[in-house]
Structure 1
């Protein structure tokens, strides 16, 4: 980053915010607690730049510092670090020309030649105070390259001829419509949309669709209706084996043993 210094001579001795800006200042300061007011330094510097014809003078920085109770040097550090803050006078219409790769590949170099021819070198202000320009980094409109930002508006899809016409109109006080300078809407294709052109997609007539197509059919729900208690079957496994020493004996549980006089069951004869 190049060394950035503010213009002490051009800044004058004082600065004051415009009365209509006070509500905006209160809005931004209201976002931060009383002990964190310095957090509003960037939005207040931006408002000061707007109220100072598009650039920040040293008295404007001091005014921001006084309002936020900050040391002057801390405000100077912020203003000189961010290139969104301009530290010398600019024209009524300040052109920021994107020179980053997408715009450069699409013709930004030719647009720079137009600026040099119609205005002069970078940051030079024309004698009528109407125009100035500078090259900046990406402005985020790569799909509409090459493009420039003039004050707060984007002018996109430029050619050297269309850009020269814009500059000529601004010189003569003629209003220029921002946005793409070719037959397209925002970032849509030139000449109009090529897809999704069926009006029925957007007029609500397709809202009657109850389900999405090609989905699998839901499985049938099993009946939860009772069918009665099943018949009880005859008992099984009435005979069981009980282990003895070295041999399993089959016990018939269907026959009753004979009782003795003392009430005990008499053992049956064992057959080998």
Structure 2
């Protein structure tokens, strides 16, 4: 770990995040600090909502590895956001089982309801709509994941409307 260069470049990553980096790195032998790269990426994303190129550089310096190696991990996994997203990230499964059970219709319904296309964020910054690879709940299709944490199953148009209206209401403090 190069603490000097990390200190110089860590202005966008909080001291608390750097402390969490240290706890993750401590889980591995001293010569295998790079094993904590995914944990460090997750920490940055939790703090900032996405992983910027500058953050990748800080992580690379901290772990003593090339920045391109960190970038390869960031771009390989779709769980890392490479640019700012809406408050609610909606990942709709577009794999075959979900497609056979109206997954494409669910995605189209969300595009219409939100007034955006897949990959876009609503003008109010609330929703980002993305397609997803298999979420492992094929029997419950169509499925989607909200903010990489909450699985939503059997997503009919009615359930999609309820979800969006509920999230909108929650973000404005209204009861839905």
Identify the TM-score tier after normalising by the shorter chain.
0.7 to 0.9
Counterpart check, 1:145 vs 2:141:
yes
Higher mean C-alpha displacement, 77-86 vs 94-103: 77-86
SS in 1 for 2:170: coil
Aligned pairs for 1:16-165 (under 5 A) are: 16-17=13-14, 19=16, 21-22=17-18, 24-53=20-49, 55-119=50-114, 120-151=116-147, 152-165=149-162
Unpaired runs of 5+ residues, structure 1, are 1-12, 176-272
What is the number of residues matched between the two proteins? 161
Report the TM-score, using the length of structure 1 for normalisation: 0.55
* Alpha-carbon contact 1:98-1:139 (below 8 Å) kept: yes
* Alpha-carbon contact 1:106-1:145 (below 8 Å) kept: yes
Unpaired runs of 5+ residues, structure 2, are 1-9
- Partners of 2:121 and 2:72 lie apart in 1 by 26
**C-alpha displacement at 1:14, in angstroms?**
5.2
* Alpha-carbon contact 1:97-1:135 (below 8 Å) kept: yes
SS in 2 for 1:172: helix
Partner of 1:169: 166
SS in 1 for 2:42: helix
Deviations 1:167-212 (A, max 9, x none): 122122269xxxxxxxxxxxxxxxxxxxxxxxxxxxxxxxxxxxxx
Q: CA RMSD in A?
A: 2.0
SS in 1 for 2:56: helix
Please identify the structure whose Cα radius of gyration is greater: 1
Partner of 1:266: none
SS in 2 for 1:173: helix
User: If each structure's helix is expressed as a fraction of its own residues, which one has the higher value?
Assistant: 2
